[in-house]
Structure 1
């Protein structure tokens, strides 16, 4: 029995996954549209400079995520999961609306980039409350034997949002109406947010846990500091998961055309198929994790990554299309194997009363500090050494550290509770 056999469970799954899908659709949309929005945001710059400045906005916007994690983590632990999820989704919808009505006629100095930069920061601020909060609510509302599978399903909804943004942008490009129609893609996000809010209003109830006394800011920070070791573990596994996808999709898309005869357009097409594969694999690996041990699956994935990452990169030099496809499928599968039970794993490290705050903050730190720079670090290693196989060293280092930490946790499993009552 995958889900509890009642209508409420279906709406819990649907509402949380729909919110997560919308969040990743919305945040991925800017990346897919950046090439086309660059001259709109920076109308006075030459095309190359405009594109470069637009790309810079992506990591700048991400800086707001840790702050958003602190804010929505506080809301979720002090006032209820549904309160934090409601306001995070509402905030995402409002920001999408304002981006959609952004006046293209504005060309006064810093106003266009300032508007978009602030919108991106607010978008990421709100998104920090949705990604982890939805997973926490979903797993807390289900029985423990469903956690690994639902963790994979929730992860698949993340990929689903990215696929949705990719398809929507591709359709506008195909019909050559990007500049006329990009706003409608954000309005689709607004409609999706409203739909999600209506579902959550009626179906999402507070988790049946006793909320602690509401803490002030100082007490809230003290609670987080008391979980330093747990925060480090969550940041590590979240960062490694992020790096796996960053290497498989972002880095290899740009690097393979430099070391082989394969075109960039072919790499982008392959990435679309890989995302669909990942969408399928995540629930399957989640189901596999429920049959065995989630930590064993994650250890296996990280150890195999240590062993195959550098050799895989070595064979990419001058590789044929077939070789590239096989290698990228292997790397993507390793990422799905590690990430499928990730939400279930990290929730078992933190008691309910502090779960939203600790996991959200740890995840935001890991994904931004460890994961965010990974493509740039790998490219820098390749540029400095001229050897493509050395570009995988950062990934291997994180995989090795993850393996050591997870093995130590596994060995002490009888002493440390991974699953506080849910």
Structure 2
């Protein structure tokens, strides 16, 4: 933990005392991580399923279009859901700052599960005509609106429960859930494609993965209802503050975020752009790139992308722990620079015949993506104070994801189609790497430090005593 930061807390009014240091409830911390990660897992299970079923869904909902138009229409529906994500962020984020993180996360869990489950119930175009893609769009909109409050709330929840010195490690479990969910969804579709064949998948098999969202949502809701709100949120709400927060309008908080916190908001948008352009390029676009652009078999393509996800799952928690020791900025910077240097060569390797060169490229992309995913959940909440953390993070995250992340498959597919250049996806990754690197330059290091506006959080009473003693001695050594 940074000594100067601790020393300044001793000198503030009211000053830091040993009693004011938050000792984390370990059983509640474990439940919080499990509940938050499961919600993210369900969200990305849906994305994995949708990305791997893009070709099949095109045949089910847009059968009268050409094959390329089917892909573009499917990705357009995918991207349309992201248009409402900022609305979800603007609604759920400030709401979470006023009524509590736990309540809002329970609501988003219900809506996510319902939206995903509903996709499996929609009749095909052959049954109801144009109403089929319209209903698909509506279900995706519900899911998109709910996820607008999901990631910002989940990262806030875990960050506000975690001890300062382990926030990177514990926060990385949230995105571990992300890639486990995606891997499970993509693996399920791969197995179904192999077992049922194209005809059965188009006829009825595509519905199976979406139906699984119902039971997953019930389990996630149960876990979230068993949680208490975070120590940081409860600490700032005495009786007077609670009344003020209840009376404060969402519009006023949103105005405060854009006026007072525009610098960290821009940094948040830049880091999320870096992470999510890479994320959606690999998870949502690459399966179709392999099949429709390179001409690989469906099974080969699915397994290639799944390799990237396995690499991320194997590395993410270790890199999260590393960020607690070396800092968040070096981890982000390494990933951004690596992406700038190797993105175009890796897409060249992806286009080669055989299996080893594409496998190597997918593995390297997995390493780069892990460098972005691991520190994100611990870095973004540290940009904002407790009073606006959920709202600011939800707004910044969803603006970036909607504008640059969710549109990545559609924009990339269209550019490759227009330019007939298979290296265009690599060029887009270079651009996002440059945006992210600029954001890292202006990012303040937060590893080991208390969240803005909160006292230090530690794992046990002994660590609280030791932390206070270090802070006291450092404060005495500073000039008056």
TM-score w.r.t. length of structure 1: 0.87
Matches of 2:351 and 2:213, distance apart in 1: 40
User: Please, which moves more after superposition, 261-270 or 19-28?
Assistant: 261-270
CA gap of 1:185–1:304, structure 2 versus 1, over 3 A, is: closer
Question: Do 1:240 and 1:399's aligned partners in 2 also have CA atoms closer than 8 Å?
Answer: yes
Matches of 2:343 and 2:423, distance apart in 1: 8
Task: Give the superposition deviation at 1:295.
Answer: 1.1
Residue equivalent to 2:251: 218
CA gap of 1:388–1:417, structure 2 versus 1, over 3 A, is: farther
Residue equivalent to 2:212: 188
Residue equivalent to 1:91: 111
Trace 1:57-72 onto structure 2 (pairs within 5 A): 57-72=77-92
User: Please, which moves more after superposition, 399-408 or 256-265?
Assistant: 256-265
Task: Give the superposition deviation at 1:19.
Answer: 1.5
Matches of 1:51 and 1:390, distance apart in 2: 18
Question: Do 1:69 and 1:357's aligned partners in 2 also have CA atoms closer than 8 Å?
Answer: yes
Summarize deviations over 1:35-69 as a string: whole Å, max 9, x none.
Answer: 334454346x3573555433321111211111011
Point out where structure 1 has 5 or more consecutive residues left out of the alignment: none
Task: Give the superposition deviation at 1:304.
Answer: 2.4
CA gap of 1:277–1:93, structure 2 versus 1, over 3 A, is: same
CA gap of 1:265–1:172, structure 2 versus 1, over 3 A, is: closer
Residue equivalent to 1:16: 36
Could you say what secondary structure the match of 2:235 adopts?
coil
Q: Aligned pair 1:237/2:257, yes or no? A: no
Residue equivalent to 2:315: 281
Matches of 2:123 and 2:420, distance apart in 1: 45
Q: Report the count of equivalent residues.
A: 417
Residue equivalent to 1:347: 381
Matches of 2:90 and 2:65, distance apart in 1: 39
Matches of 2:351 and 2:178, distance apart in 1: 31
Trace 1:225-304 onto structure 2 (pairs within 5 A): 225-226=258-259, 227-255=261-289, 263=297, 265-304=299-338
Question: Do 2:48 and 2:283's aligned partners in 1 also have CA atoms closer than 8 Å?
Answer: no
Q: Aligned pair 1:172/2:218, yes or no? A: no
Larger Rg: 2
Task: Give the superposition deviation at 1:219.
Answer: 0.9
Summarize deviations over 1:199-249 as a string: whole Å, max 9, x none.
Answer: 222234354232552322431331231222222211111011112223445
TM-score w.r.t. length of structure 2: 0.77
Residue equivalent to 1:205: 229
Could you say what secondary structure the match of 1:101 adopts?
coil
Matches of 2:418 and 2:369, distance apart in 1: 27
Determine which structure has greater relative contact order: mean sequence separation of CA pairs < 8 Å that are 6+ residues apart, divided by chain length.
2
Question: Do 1:348 and 1:420's aligned partners in 2 also have CA atoms closer than 8 Å?
Answer: no
Matches of 1:98 and 1:413, distance apart in 2: 41
Task: Give the superposition deviation at 1:70.
Answer: 0.9
Summarize deviations over 1:8-58 as a string: whole Å, max 9, x none.
Answer: 222222111112111222343333334334454346x35735554333211
CA gap of 1:39–1:127, structure 2 versus 1, over 3 A, is: same
User: Please, which moves more after superposition, 108-117 or 384-393?
Assistant: 384-393
CA root-mean-square deviation: 3.1
Question: Do 1:156 and 1:282's aligned partners in 2 also have CA atoms closer than 8 Å?
Answer: yes
1:161 to 153, 178, 181: 181
CA gap of 1:70–1:258, structure 2 versus 1, over 3 A, is: closer
Task: Give the superposition deviation at 1:162.
Answer: 0.9
Question: Do 2:79 and 2:407's aligned partners in 1 also have CA atoms closer than 8 Å?
Answer: no
Trace 1:122-161 onto structure 2 (pairs within 5 A): 122-161=142-181
